[in-house]
Structure 1
């Protein structure tokens, strides 16, 4: 009998030991999983900070971060830190050849390590740089299976970390005129680089990384800006003093003066400049109302006619929105003797009289210009409207890709790719 009792006790002890071991293992796995999730969540928070700080410009976003070079620098990189204990050894891809800035509100080119995150309670660090050809090749790009339009005359497809190739941009390349795509170029472009952002979050004894590719909001205009004036319907020019130029004020590209959706027509003989220097016709049908809806978030809403109004400034581009049916404005919106910087979005009809506008104008209805001999309507940027006419006086419209880019700068960036990093 004693022997049986001892055997039972031995079995129970063994089972208890196994159960205890299993419980400890489960708790350890649960703790590890919890720590891993915590680190992952902090990395996600880092990505969100980076997205917010890449929007806009210094005047509208005091925490703005961007490549300060006049033309994008292939070796630009910037760090955001939430802790002063960070060292370069923590970055598995640290490269001393890059600029490795630690941007502050006082300097985009600060190279002294400093805590420059918007908060310090959540532990993460972030690295931002432009996407290069080598990055695409790591993802599988080859000349035979391209991930981007190779427009820089170099299609070798065998770059290295030491020779990563050119910057990859996102926008409308001549080889892909109707669809935004990634591309390289051997000449200047008005489009922005793809930004490669890596954020590493930490939990107790655990680190997790996330990498995203962000693109600026060129998709917000739905299709490439074919010309400084786009019209879905007929356009009437009643004055030979009207001038429409597709020559880019920013120097990045040259476009025809107008693009007209067939079967609409253009009447009148203004001064046309550009390449070719005549209106172009085609099937491109922009949904102007949809474009306006995609851009109107956070806009200044205008419900009445405007006189001597100023919207924004050369350092602060804004979005102005008006729906002429809510409340009802029978004759449409009227701008007289004003100045604006940014995006002017009108659902309905609008008349521009003696107005200077720098940026982008979108109109779902009829857009009419009424300038004076000594004070023309001046637009530097681009116009997209359903129907267009000039009524009296001078109108001077010039394509400016930089003004369009500034008008869209405050739009959120889009995530094109996402993956975990070790």
Structure 2
């Protein structure tokens, strides 16, 4: 199969290539094309990626392209992993909301909306161009904010599925705590992208989540950044993104005196690129683990293997709701377990969701619909409405001020706002 990676110059890419090399029995990639407009980064990343494949004796042909159509032509799958504006704009996403007393995070709240405003139009353009030269290709979206971007792709009629590494991260960590193989663990994982809870952890058909919380509550709480009593109170494990909701004011106070995550990641990326330039480096650097995206390669390779193999495996993916959560519209995008085959993803039946979870899911899902509209149509009024709908903003004066600031800071990436 031919796999094209849009944003192939990302420092994440060697993580993906390492997975392709290690898991070749699951996913027989014969051609891998890395596509990026930044020729310098692309050359460094492609170089170390080729060495990783060679070290593993993997037969895939690796090539690069700076022109999208040339790279994706005839592809079976196109993985999109873009960061429009790079770490510089991520820094703005993480700091501008703090001016208004709101959480500064690249995918959550006002920062997430800013990222969506820069990203959605770009990804839709990529998808249209992919459809012209690779009409049967599956688009796998790893571009944040995944839920919003995936909804935009599906609304436009593209053959797309969204992927995040949060669920596989939980699966691997729970398996380690239980000292079992990850494949023996199944999760009742429910919600939206970056707004999910683990309601059950199944081992041989038994829900062992209560045991995990009782025996390993302190370790789990540390991983998600919430007090251990929260786990016992809720009886579920919130993802670490829930800290932005459950401890909003404490997080804002921390962020105001700290440095942005973007600054730290920029330093890591610079060091990674130096390593990638070393011709002796032919394995995934240990430093890559501090970049984020743990288990990304396993999640991506396993999903692609189901889409292009015999299929039938279960993956936690971002897909149309279509009645899965009955309190949401069918065209919402949810992040839940689904059986994946060449025909796509079929969600599993989901047990009733408690009001505590459903209320927040419904609130953020409504915001995501408005975020897609604001990102595509543009205009300060629509940006303000999306912010007003988000539970981490929700005040008209704050929404109005933030809308103006987000447009001002992102103006160079917003065609509709380019006229001053």
TM value normalised by structure 2: 0.24
Rg comparison, structure with higher value: 1
**Higher RCO structure (Cα 8 Å, ≥6 apart):** 2
Which structure has more strand as a fraction of its residues? 1
